Amino acid sequence: MPETRLVVDLDAVAENYRRLCRLAPGTTIACVVKADAYGLGAAAVAPVLWSAGCRTFFTAKLDEALALRGCLPLATVHVLEGPGEGEAETFLAHDLQPVLNQPGEVERWADLARRLGHRLPAGLQLETGLCRMGLAAADLDALRPAWLAALEIRLVMSHLACADEPDHPLNEQQRTRFLALAARLPAAPLSLANSSGLFLGPAYALDLARPGAALYGINPTPGRANPMLPVVTVVAPVLRVLRVDAAGSVGYGATHPVAPGMRIATIGLGYADGLPRAAGNAATAGIAHRTVPLVGRVSMDLTTLDVTGLPEDAVQVGTPVTLFAGPDGLDACAVAAGTIGYELLTRLGRRFRRVYNGTGHA
Ligand SMILES: *Cc1c(COP(=O)(O)O)cnc(C)c1O
């Protein structure tokens, strides 16, 4: 029996990177590989992006960056969470560039630079409307000139709150605030756009963009056709086909009725693997070139499908079932489960055997 597996198409990742490069010529496309490349495995994905031409990467955490450094010795690596207490030396030892988000981090990094007697490279994040990370106008007032003088500012960035809603007025407000705040700092490459931000047009692409989701096949333009190639599918063999012989229900909580003659196929994955429990009675799966509904609740290790409409010989023990197939498969499953592709993707757990197809070379 074939194993249940998470299949990652590395050629599609590389092609998605190239598409983003073509979308914004003149903009450096840096790749966000935080959360283990959104759960796909940074050790496999990052070298493919490097081969496709990417030289600049972002992680969220220091330990993600240390792992990335192990497979990409020459890349420029920015870490979105700046150095915490006692971490500055580790950043330096591995040539990792912190994104400094608050005055204390600027001070810590500048202190290290002063002790070393030379300037240290860093990115600065500006707060422009997300109210999360980044230096606000008052923080800029509080920065000592000596701190700034100790930095070699390689990047000035901010992050959009509503990039996936092109008509949202906050996009333009954030862009305007960003440019005004950045003008108070020494000249440096500017970065505002995530995946969706790149699709807001050249005014948002600026010098460097930081896509993550789009590389991994999530639609950066919700409501319009997905301009990216899908990257991830889950393939699971049917474990059992049950022919219902009496009226009743399927699954925990008896949420979905069944009638005599119906056939229910069970696959061996569930919410412990990262398929949302809420996908039950909501999402669909592919089997034998047809789309069938998930019926009953998704349980920890098992998920049930209504295959009544398919010929009996098309669905047997071992027949492969595909989740997330097609250009919008991942996003559609996420929406059906009341979440977004990002959350679904990053939660596909370690329980899957991961299979990488392709090499990333065109
Ligand atoms: C995660 C993240 C990104 C990438 O966003 P996508 O929407 O996945 O393209 C870019 N910038 C920052 C600051 C992030 O936290």
DSSP string, 130-168: S-SSSB-HHHHHHS-HHHHHTEEEEEEE---SSTT-TT-
Report CA 263 to chain centroid distance, whole Å: 36
- pLDDT of 294 reads 98
What is the predicted pLDDT for the residue at 251? 97
Q: How far is CA 97 from CA 100, 132, 297, 301, in A?
A: 9, 20, 45, 41
Token couple for 190: 């500017």
159 lines ligand 1 (CB under 6 A): yes
Pocket test for ligand 1, best of 20, 27, 194, 198 (most atoms within 8 A of CB): 194
Lookup: tokens for 283: 């999402």
| DSSP summary character for residue 129 | S
Whether the CB-CB separation of 174 and 161 falls below 8 Å is answered with: yes
Spatial separation of the C-alpha atoms in residues 296 and 237, rounded to whole Å: 18
Instruction: Look at the block and give the residue holding tokens 């990335």.
Output: 68
The candidate with the shortest Cα–Cα distance to 235, out of 264, 267, 265, is 267
Dist. CA 240 → ligand 1 center (Å): 41
125 CB within 6 A, ligand 1: no
Instruction: State if residue 106 touches ligand 1 by the CB under 6 angstroms criterion.
Output: no
Query: Quick check: is 204 catalytic?
Result: no
Tell which atom from ligand 1 comes closest to the C-alpha of 211: 9
> Is 34 a residue of the active site?
yes
Atom of ligand 1 nearest to the CA of 34: 1
User: According to the model, what pLDDT value does residue 362 have?
Assistant: 62
Nearest CA to 203 out of 225, 180, 228, 171 is that of: 171
* Cα dihedral 44, 47, 51, 57 sign: positive
Q: Residue 188 CA to chain centroid, in angstroms?
A: 26
Contact yes or no for 196/164 (Cβ under 8 A):
yes
Q: In 3-state terms, the chain is what percent helix, strand and coil (to 5)?
A: 35, 25, 40
Which tokens go with 96? 């990792």
Low-confidence ranges of the chain (pLDDT < 50): none
- Give me the pLDDT at residue 145, please: 94
* Sign of the alpha-carbon dihedral angle for 236, 239, 243, 246: negative
> Which residue has 């207490």 as its token pair?
85
Q: In degrees rounded to 5, what are phi and psi of residue 117? A: 80, 15
**Smallest CA separation from ligand 1 atom 13, residue:** 159
- The first and second tokens of residue 74, run together, are 């020459």
> What separation in angstroms does the CA of 147 have from each of 89, 93, 108, 116, 118?
17, 21, 9, 14, 12
Phi, psi of 205 (to 5 degrees): -70, -40
| CA 160 to centroid of ligand 1, rounded, Å | 9
pLDDT at 327: 87
Can you name the residues that pair with 75 across neighbouring β-strands? none
Per-residue confidence (pLDDT) for residue 347, from 0 to 100? 96
